[in-house]
Amino acid sequence: MPDPTTRPTGDGGERSVRLGIIGTGAEGSAYAQLLLDGRVPGARLGAVADLSPERRAAAAAWGVPVHESSDALLASGDADAVVVCVPHYLHPEIAIAALRAGVHVLVEKPAGVHTSQVAELNEVAAAHPELTFAMMFNQRSNPLFRRVKEIVETGEIGAVRRSSWTITTWWRPQGYYEQSAWRATWGGEGGGVLVNQAPHQLDLWQWICGVPQSVFAKVAYGFRRDIAVEDEVVAVVDHGDGVTGTFTTAVHDLVGTDRFEILGDRGKVVVEGSKSATVTRLVDDERAISDGMSAEQVRDLFRGGFDPSTLYTQEVLEFPVEFWAQHAGVMENFAANVLHGTPLIAPGSEGIRGVRLANAIHLSSWLGREVPLDFDEDVYLRELNARIRAEGTFPERRARLAP
């Protein structure tokens, strides 16, 4: 396999990882520019690959080898690691090929479309522990969400009792879906808002609040857009022990709302617009406060003579956020893991969690009942393929990529 730890950058002999970009669309070209601008310490642009002649011609200006396919790039030796920025169904396929070629892999979200193909990717990655396998969950490098996760994990607001995320800032006009034949199809994209716009929030939700046990969902397909896949979702999850959560998302809310609430025994976190968070810390466990109130205090509470704010403090968290800096942060962390073994912000093996949650939401709506997160993958794939057949445009999907 290539050994990036022995390759100099040419600017003083510092070690760096030669990153290859597979797929130079909007995301891939942005990542290439971050590398060319020197915004990813420990990494540099090594090569690119794209099936489109027009995109290859544009990439020639970057001054690195340009390949006609991912296979050609992987065979060239021009890259020590690759970032996979291709349509969703191809994420596991190309990532597996890279790992088998001895190349480190950073996969764009989502890890795949259905859990069986992502599980196969995880199996291959586990068989190559010498290689770095990570996900482009750029929001995990957002200092705001990292601090919220710390607050929850350290028990600053007590045990989580309920969470809710309304994320409807994904307004997409009809023309967006008509840009290409594969967009917003079961066979080409694998779903709608859950697999295209909201994977980062699904990842953060379970990353911070934990993986639920089951889900019940009401999902609208082609509700406000002329598409076959979901354009509105309301999901209720059960974590056990009375702990619940709700997730609401849509593409037809022109104004949009982004509000993430986490309620604990000893406080609450409310994130607004993914930019600021109000952290409320109670003076005691809420149940203890309730049990300790005297009859007189209860009367005062309803008469307006008792100030509840004496029972808590509040802090507002705000961090300067530059959108592409978060992507650069994930790539920097990825390179640091390759070079120095620095712990990953987003290990690749965790990519399956968001895919499983999205699959469970789909399956619940298709079957009309609550489903466990350890649902039968064969049932999901059967239902997915039924919808792909109905489209009549794309081939059905197999449970595993390997024959």
Low-confidence winner among 2-16, 132-146, 189-203, 359-373 (lowest mean pLDDT): 2-16
Q: 28-62: per-residue pLDDT in tens?
A: 999 999 999 999 999 999 999 999 999 999 999 99
The structure's pTM equals 0.94
- Residue 7: pLDDT over 50: no
Give me the pLDDT at residue 281, please.
98
What share of the chain has pLDDT > 70, as a percent?
96
Q: 177-203: per-residue pLDDT in tens?
A: 999 889 999 999 999 999 999 999 999
What value does the mean pLDDT take over residues 309-338? 94
Count, residues in the chain: 403
Give me the pLDDT at residue 11, please.
44
In the chain, the domains with their CATH numbers are 4-140+325-348 (3.40.50.720)
pLDDT band at residue 4 under the 50/70/90 scheme: very low
Reduce the secondary structure of the chain to three states and give it as a string.
Answer: CCCHHHCECCCCCCECEEEEEECCCHHHHHHHHHHHCCCCCCEEEEEEECCCHHHHHHHHHHCCCEECCHHHHHHHCCCCEEEECCCCCHHHHHHHHHHHCCCEEEEECCCCCCHHHHHHHHHHHHCCCCCCEEEECHHHHCHHHHHHHHHHHCCCCCCEEEEEEEECCCCCCHHHHCCCCCCCCCCCCCCCCCCCCCHHHHHHHHHHHCCCCEEEEEEEECCCCCCCCEEEEEEEEEEECCEEEEEEEECCCCCCCEEEEEEECCEEEEEECCCEEEEEEECCCHHHHHHCCCHHHHHHHHHCCCCHHHHEEEEEEECCCCHHHHHHHHHHHHHHHHHHCCCCCCEHHHHHHHHHHHHHHHHHHHHCCCEECCCCHHHHHHHHHHHHHHHCCCCCCCCCCCC
Q: 64-101: per-residue pLDDT in tens?
A: 999 999 999 999 999 999 999 999 999 999 999 999 99
Q: 112-138: per-residue pLDDT in tens?
A: 999 999 999 999 999 999 999 999 999
pLDDT band at residue 1 under the 50/70/90 scheme: very low
pLDDT band at residue 12 under the 50/70/90 scheme: very low
- Averaged pLDDT score across all residues of the chain: 95
